[in-house]
A and B are shown apart, each in its own frame.
Chain A
Amino acid sequence: MGDFFGNLALGFGVALTPTNLGFAFVGCLVGTLVGVLPGIGPVATVAMLLPLTFYLEPVSGLIMLAGIFYGAQYGGSTTAILVNMPGETSSVVTCIDGHQMARNGRAGAALAVAALGSFFAGCFATLLIALFSPPLAKVGQSFGAPEYFSLMVLGLIAAVVLAHGSIIKAVAMVLLGLLLGLVGTDGNTGGARFTFGATILSAGIGFVPLAIGVFGLGEVIANLISPQHRRDLLTNKISGLWLTWEEFRQAWPASVRGTIIGSLLGVLPGGGATLSAFAGYVLEKKLARDPSRFGKGAIEGVAGPESANNAGAQTSFIPMLTLGIPGNAVMALMIGALTIHGIQPGPQVMTERPALFWGMVASMWLGNLMLVVINLPLIGMWVQLLKVPYRMLYLAILLFCAIGVYTLNNNAFEVILTALFGVLGYVLLRLECEPAPMLLGFILGPLMEENLRRAMRISSGDPMIFINRPISLGLLIAAALLLLIVALPAIRGKREEVFQEG
């Protein structure tokens, strides 16, 4: 326990330096911005700003990128409540009751409960990260190549199961990502793969062009072709950001429940903010004495999912930081950011770079505190931003995409790649193929191949090594069970129900 406080002290020492406080603030501000603005999400934003972190200390860069991710969870609720349009996918369910509250003249209360619930969830989840990361990293350190390979298989399968839509398509998307990750020179044999003689491809495809193209440009193209319905902004109805006693009494248990379910789901591979929010809403509706209130402005329908999505966003850092396994697309980008800074992601990060790890954890708590200030008193500023029409906004998105990719290497090649991935992103959207599993496969691909090769060398080519090692076997059984469970018709129905709510 003394260790725990020593670590936290170290962390706050790092997070409280003016530079890092500044970057945490910038991250939270940008996060709120992209959260508020529909049509641009945290994945594309993190990818755009990632190249800029080359110019920063690793810890400052990661603090900023993390702030964007959890800041977006706060901002997303503002748009959901005031415009009845999700700023982020994780705030889709907040629209249902949040916007009704706004119509009933309780917009201020809805915004307040979303921000305070998120703050509570953020604090709790940060504490969980601090408590559970060290033991988990210990477990990770005992893993050899076969265990790591099996863990990644489990991670990818779980990501597929928890993504919505067709499971087979999601697995195929993972494979597409793995194949894209292979492009370039094979590190082990020196042979070129899928480079078609182009020297420029021998270094491989960067994950920044892939992420910006698919998640940023693809989205812009889709929005221009089928415009969103007209926004109806309820600004005149924000009267006081306070809850009545009755509202508080109804909201806080929902907030606590949302925090717990979000924290649990966030740790799972494939989990994170969106799934947590959906689960939080379904739970509140199931537990309510009078479920018919939902959809008409029930405050629990805002408190539950909003706490859940923030808790889930935060705890999804746990597997990324302790095992080097990304559970969602943003975490995959964080893994990429670590690698770019020359830090090998995995359990050794915590022991070899304690200042980086604990500095990030401490900054998350500070960031949550900043976010309450950014979101509640400054709400008027964000409302003004919502008045900017999309036909102007997308030009800004295009420019930030362009600058982000161009500054990677100051050459046009990566921008052309991004443009191509943008078209791919639009095609995938139209065909209902989830791009997130592809990004996970893309990032994990090289690591998986490396561990597969090592495992095969240890066992002299016997694939039974994955089954003879108990931990590896356990992980593979878990993966198989997950696939089996979702294949059962009863569970499949439930899975669709969770994602179809609202």
Chain B
Amino acid sequence: MSGGTAAKTTPQQFLRRKDVLAGLMFIGVAAFGLWASRNYPIGTAVRMGTGYVPRLLCWILLGLGCIVFIQGFRASAVTLEPSPPIWRSVILIPASLVVFAYAIGPLGVIAAIVLLVVVGSLAGKDSRLVEVIAAALVLIGLTLLVFVWGIGLPIPVWPEWW
């Protein structure tokens, strides 16, 4: 409990505190919700309009977000631990799923798995080519065996133009 460290906190350090960030996130969501629902009819308690419950929840969330934000001022607030560069994983992991979803219709599930594995493996730092190929082959076999022939999911196996 040293007041000295709190005084020296720079705005950048302050913004790396977990409670500050979480509070800002909740406040942001609530404010956005209030803005988006500004024209929803509220109605009365007996005949609640479309906006009654959403606006009520947004106001409560706004209040809670402020409390969490204020907690970030405490000297004991935890700072976000430094992490290696995150963007590769944060972008490529979700992207691998999206690529799969857009590929499966026109290209079939086999090609979609290959694309998912390629994009997905780029997200990791220590992928090895041999392992990636092995993983793709095993996953293709497993998918055909379990999902296509076993359960009979209605998904195309081969490209449309095949």
CB < 8 Å: which of A407, A415, A457 contacts B97?
A415
Query: B153 on the interface (CB 8 Å rule)?
Result: yes
User: Do A430 and B80 form a contact, CB below 8 Å, given A172-B61, A420-B94?
Assistant: yes
Give 1 or 0 for each of B21-40: 1 = CB within 8 Å of chain A CB. 11001100100010011001
Query: A384 on the interface (CB 8 Å rule)?
Result: no
Q: Is B83 within 8 A of A176, CB to CB?
A: no
Q: Determine the residue in chain A with the shortest Cβ distance to B100.
A: A402
Query: Helix, strand, loop or mixed for chain A's interface?
Result: helix
**Which residues of the partner chain B approach A74 to less than 8 Å between Cβ atoms?**
none
Query: A405 on the interface (CB 8 Å rule)?
Result: yes
**Which residues of the partner chain A approach B48 to less than 8 Å between Cβ atoms?**
188-189, 452-453, 456
Query: A487 on the interface (CB 8 Å rule)?
Result: no
Q: Is B121 within 8 A of A189, CB to CB?
A: no
Query: B120 on the interface (CB 8 Å rule)?
Result: yes
CA distance A433 to B50 in the complex (A): 29
Q: Determine the residue in chain A with the shortest Cβ distance to B128.
A: A391
Q: Is B58 within 8 A of A179, CB to CB?
A: yes
CA distance A426 to B60 in the complex (A): 24
CA distance A389 to B83 in the complex (A): 22
Shortest CB-to-CB span from B150 to chain A, Å, is 10
Determine, out of A34-42, A103-111, A163-171, A325-333, the stretch whose residues face the partner at the interface: A163-171
Q: Is B68 within 8 A of A403, CB to CB?
A: no
CA distance A411 to B100 in the complex (A): 11
Query: A419 on the interface (CB 8 Å rule)?
Result: yes
Q: Is A452 within 8 A of B49, CB to CB?
A: no
Query: A394 on the interface (CB 8 Å rule)?
Result: yes
Query: Helix, strand, loop or mixed for chain B's interface?
Result: helix
Shortest CB-to-CB span from B18 to chain A, Å, is 5
Q: Is B147 within 8 A of A395, CB to CB?
A: no
User: Do A398 and B96 form a contact, CB below 8 Å, given A194-B33, A456-B46?
Assistant: yes
**Which residues of the partner chain A approach B46 to less than 8 Å between Cβ atoms?**
456-457, 460-461
Q: Is B50 within 8 A of A168, CB to CB?
A: no
Q: Which of B101, B120, B134 counts the most A-chain CB atoms under 10 A from its CB? A: B101
Q: Which of A172, A192, A422, A449 counts the most B-chain CB atoms under 10 A from its CB? A: A172
**Which residues of the partner chain B approach A395 to less than 8 Å between Cβ atoms?**
116-117, 120-121, 132, 135-136, 139
CA distance A418 to B113 in the complex (A): 17
Q: Is B64 within 8 A of A178, CB to CB?
A: no
Q: Is B100 within 8 A of A406, CB to CB?
A: yes
Q: Determine the residue in chain B with the shortest Cβ distance to A192.
A: B50
Query: B45 on the interface (CB 8 Å rule)?
Result: yes
User: Do A449 and B53 form a contact, CB below 8 Å, given A221-B90, A406-B101, A407-B155?
Assistant: yes
Q: Determine the residue in chain B with the shortest Cβ distance to A392.
A: B135
CA distance A407 to B51 in the complex (A): 33
CA distance A411 to B102 in the complex (A): 8
Query: A131 on the interface (CB 8 Å rule)?
Result: no
Query: A196 on the interface (CB 8 Å rule)?
Result: yes
Q: Is A217 within 8 A of B18, CB to CB?
A: no
Q: Is B116 within 8 A of A169, CB to CB?
A: no
Q: How many residues of chain B have a CB within 8 Å of chain A? A: 75
CA distance A411 to B98 in the complex (A): 11
**Which residues of the partner chain B approach A55 to less than 8 Å between Cβ atoms?**
151-153
Q: Is B147 within 8 A of A220, CB to CB?
A: no
Q: Is A402 within 8 A of B117, CB to CB?
A: no
Q: Determine the residue in chain B with the shortest Cβ distance to A56.
A: B151
Q: Is A179 within 8 A of B101, CB to CB?
A: no
CA distance A55 to B155 in the complex (A): 14
Q: Is A169 within 8 A of B68, CB to CB?
A: yes
Q: Determine the residue in chain B with the shortest Cβ distance to A414.
A: B101
Query: A253 on the interface (CB 8 Å rule)?
Result: no
CB contact list, B88-112 vs A, under 8 A: 89-90, 93-98, 100-102, 104-105, 112
Give 1 or 0 for each of A13-35: 1 = CB within 8 Å of chain B CB. 00000000000000000000000
CB < 8 Å: which of A191, A396, A398 contacts B49?
A191
Give 1 or 0 for each of B118-162: 1 = CB within 8 Å of chain A CB. 001101111110011011101100010001000111110000000
Query: A291 on the interface (CB 8 Å rule)?
Result: no
Query: B84 on the interface (CB 8 Å rule)?
Result: yes
Q: Is A168 within 8 A of B68, CB to CB?
A: yes
Q: Is A392 within 8 A of B84, CB to CB?
A: no
Give 1 or 0 for each of A400-417: 1 = CB within 8 Å of chain B CB. 011101110011100110
CA distance A364 to B157 in the complex (A): 36
Give 1 or 0 for each of A162-203: 1 = CB within 8 Å of chain B CB. 000010110110011011001000101101111010000000
Q: Is A412 within 8 A of B53, CB to CB?
A: no
**Which residues of the partner chain B approach A343 to less than 8 Å between Cβ atoms?**
none
Query: A432 on the interface (CB 8 Å rule)?
Result: yes
Query: A376 on the interface (CB 8 Å rule)?
Result: no
29 pairs of residues in contact across A and B, judged by CB atoms under 8 Å: A52-B153, A55-B151, A168-B67, A169-B22, A175-B60, A179-B58, A189-B50, A191-B40, A191-B41, A193-B40, A194-B33, A196-B36, A391-B126, A391-B127, A391-B131, A394-B120, A395-B132, A395-B135, A398-B116, A402-B101, A405-B97, A406-B104, A406-B155, A418-B97, A423-B94, A426-B90, A430-B83, A431-B80, A453-B48
- Residues of A whose CB lies within 8 Å of any CB of B are 52, 55, 166, 168-169, 171-172, 175-176, 178-179, 182, 186, 188-189, 191-194, 196, 217, 220-221, 224-226, 389, 391-392, 394-396, 398-399, 401-403, 405-407, 410-412, 415-416, 418-420, 422-423, 426-427, 430-433, 449, 452-453, 456-457, 460-463
Would you list the 5 A-B pairs with minimal beta carbon distance, nearest first? A191-B50, A419-B94, A415-B101, A461-B46, A461-B45
